[in-house]
């Protein structure tokens, strides 16, 4: 499953509890569009690529001191395609090793990130004495973008409309699998994805909207009974899930600290049932004891509910029937 970047998770949660400033709003929109684009690409790959292909989505690799984040990898036989996805809008020209947009030169080379990733993978395969070809593919997912490549470059550059025919082309390649362990070699170098550097200011933290946010209408007009949280919009949520979900929202916003009871109490606001919060923390979150021994916290994965409890979704689904409990 392709996941939202940590920055996108942070902005979406923050946007429900405070007024995003202009820069944050722009970033949120850009990341949301980008995520939709990436999901579209995933769907295209799924529907057009028919042969025996290994797909790795969204991976961060470290080789020696170099860290690269890769949107998508396709392993087709003996060839590894590294796909870098952009959702840029407008007319782009690459000429004399310089990118231009609307007649103006861009300060950076859009291909740099991709080229770094290609080099890293080439080095990894070399180190493992594997004769694998690594090819870079730059994909412009925005249908409103025009790309003109005047230089002779080794990377493949695709616009949205060109993706299906490129994928169909891949199907024709001979699929002799020379290194069945290719994926596991790459995964040896995987590291955790970057967390956002965004943080709330003290003032923003103080004025943050408190309480349980309704997952349907995103308002805070919820009330709790024994087993569920009921919103004025009519939506009902199992209370255990609503509490665990709200704890993870706190975790995303304050991803740089442990989960602490004091902060959580403040975050839940006046309707908090403290004993229930403690019960949920104990049941679903991992306690960590700091060296000072007196202060207890809980592990903060800094992820939204669906990702935090990725492996427990079946369990939480089974709790749904509690909504009928009296």
The contact set with Zn ion (CB under 5 A) reads 214, 216-217, 231, 233, 235
Separation CA 56–CA 61 (nearest Å): 12
Closest to 319 (Cα-Cα) out of 232, 242, 221? 242
Query: Given the complex with Zn ion, which of 214 and 272 has the nearer CB atom?
Result: 214
Query: Given the complex with Zn ion, which of 191 and 233 has the nearer CB atom?
Result: 233
Minimum distance of Zn ion from residue 258's CB (angstroms): 30
Minimum distance of Zn ion from residue 17's CB (angstroms): 15
Minimum distance of Zn ion from residue 16's CB (angstroms): 12
Separation CA 74–CA 149 (nearest Å): 23
| Angle of helix 239-253 versus helix 6-17 axis, rounded to 10 | 110
Distance of CA 319 to the CA centre of its chain: 26
- What are the b/e assignments for 198-233, b being 16+ CB within 10 Å? eebeeeebeebebbbbbeeeeebebebeebbbbbee
CA angle 254, 259, 261 (to 5 degrees): 120
Separation CA 167–CA 156 (nearest Å): 12
Query: Given the complex with Zn ion, which of 33 and 235 has the nearer CB atom?
Result: 235
Alpha carbon distances (Å) from 127 to 15, 64, 116, 137, 185: 45, 12, 17, 23, 10
Query: Given the complex with Zn ion, which of 36 and 233 has the nearer CB atom?
Result: 233
Minimum distance of Zn ion from residue 217's CB (angstroms): 3
Query: Given the complex with Zn ion, which of 178 and 223 has the nearer CB atom?
Result: 223
Minimum distance of Zn ion from residue 99's CB (angstroms): 45
Query: Given the complex with Zn ion, which of 134 and 230 has the nearer CB atom?
Result: 230
Minimum distance of Zn ion from residue 272's CB (angstroms): 19
Separation CA 213–CA 252 (nearest Å): 14
Minimum distance of Zn ion from residue 236's CB (angstroms): 9
Query: Given the complex with Zn ion, which of 242 and 304 has the nearer CB atom?
Result: 242
Separation CA 326–CA 314 (nearest Å): 23
Q: Answer whether 73's CB lies under 8 Å from 82's CB.
A: yes
């Amino acid at each position: 499953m392709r996941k939202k970047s940590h920055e996108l998770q942070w902005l979406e949660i923050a946007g429900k509890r405070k007024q995003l400033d202009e820069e944050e709003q722009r970033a949120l929109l850009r990341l949301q569009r980008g995520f939709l684009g990436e999901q579209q690409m995933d769907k295209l790959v799924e529907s057009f690529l028919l042969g025996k292909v290994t797909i790795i989505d969204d991976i961060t690799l470290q080789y020696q001191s170099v860290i690269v984040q890769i949107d998508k990898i396709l392993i087709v036989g003996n060839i590894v395609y590294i796909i870098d996805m952009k959702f840029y809008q407008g007319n782009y020209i690459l000429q004399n090793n310089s990118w231009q947009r609307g007649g103006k030169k861009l300060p950076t080379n859009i291909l740099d990130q991709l080229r770094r990733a290609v080099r890293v993978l080439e080095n990894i395969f070399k180190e493992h004495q594997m004769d694998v070809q690594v090819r870079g593919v730059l994909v412009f997912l925005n249908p409103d973008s025009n790309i003109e490549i005047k230089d002779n470059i080794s990377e493949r550059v695709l616009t949205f409309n060109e993706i299906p025919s490129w994928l169909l082309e891949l199907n024709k390649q001979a699929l002799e699998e020379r290194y069945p362990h290719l994926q596991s070699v790459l995964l040896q170098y995987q590291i955790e994805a970057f967390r956002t550097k965004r943080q709330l200011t003290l003032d923003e933290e103080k004025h943050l909207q408190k309480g349980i946010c309704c997952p349907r209408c995103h308002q805070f007009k919820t009330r709790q009974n024994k087993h569920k949280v009921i919103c004025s919009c009519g939506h009902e949520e199992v209370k255990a899930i609503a509490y665990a979900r709200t704890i993870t929202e706190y975790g995303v916003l304050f991803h740089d600290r442990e989960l602490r009871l004091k902060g959580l109490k403040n975050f839940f606001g006046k309707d908090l049932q403290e004993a229930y919060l403690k019960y949920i923390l104990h049941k679903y979150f991992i306690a960590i004891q700091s060296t000072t021994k007196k202060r207890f916290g809980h592990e903060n994965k800094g992820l939204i509910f669906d990702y935090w409890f990725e492996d427990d979704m079946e369990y939480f689904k089974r709790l749904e029937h509690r909504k009928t409990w009296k």
